[in-house]
Structure 1
Amino acid sequence: MTEQNNPDDQASFSALMEDLQVRIAFLDDLVEQLNDQVVQQGSEIADLKKQMQLLYRRVESSDLSDGIAAFDPLTNRPPHY
C-alpha cells in the first residue's frame, strides 16, 4: 500500500520548515550580537582593571600623613556644640 501525500499536509510541513528556518536565522543573528557585546564588555572591564591598578599604585605611593591632620573629638568640636 502506498501513501498518497496530501497537498495540504505538504504545504503545512513546508510552512513549518520555513518558520523554523526563520527562527534559526534570527537566533544565529542574536547569538552573534550577544557575543560581540560580551567581547566589548570584556575589553572595557580589562581597561577598568588597569585604571584601578594605576589608582591603587598612586594612593599607595602618595604620602598622606602630611596632608591630613589627626582628628581629636575632644578638641575639634563641631560649631553647633
Structure 2
Amino acid sequence: MTKPTDNDDYASFSAPIEDLQVRIAFLDDLVEQLNEQLVVQGQEIDALKKQMQFLYQRVEAADLSEGIAAFDPLTNRPPHY
C-alpha cells in the first residue's frame, strides 16, 4: 500500500480555498462598485431636491391671479350645456 503524500492533501485543500479567495475578491470588487454607485445616486438626489425646492419657490412667488380668472361654475358653463 502506498501512503498518500502531503502534496496530495495540500492540493485537495488548496483548490477550494483558492476558489473561495477568488469569489471573495470578486465580491469585494462588486461591493466597491455598488458603494460608488450609491455615492453618485446620492449626489443626483441632492441635486434634484435642490431643483425641486427652487421650482416650489418660483411657483409660490409667482402671482397667478393676473393670468388666471376665478372659475365660477354657474357663469362659466361648458358649451355642451
Same fold (TM over 0.5): yes
Equivalent residue for 1:14? 14
> Taking every aligned residue pair, what percent have the same amino acid on both sides?
78
What TM-score do you get using the length of structure 1 for normalisation?
0.85
For 2:54, give the aligned amino acid.
L
Deviation at 1:66, TM superposition (A): 1.1
Aligned length: 77
Aligned mates of 1:47, 1:14 — CA distance in 2: 50
* Unmatched 5+ stretches in structure 2: none
Residue 80 of structure 2 aligns to a residue whose secondary structure is coil
Residue 16 of structure 1 aligns to a residue whose secondary structure is helix
Residue 75 of structure 1 aligns to a residue whose secondary structure is coil
Residue 17 of structure 1 aligns to a residue whose secondary structure is helix
Residue by residue over 1:2-49, the C-alpha shift from the partner in whole angstroms, topping out at 9 and shown as x without a partner, is xx7471x43221111011001100100100110010000010011001
* Unmatched 5+ stretches in structure 1: none
RMSD over aligned Cα atoms: 1.5
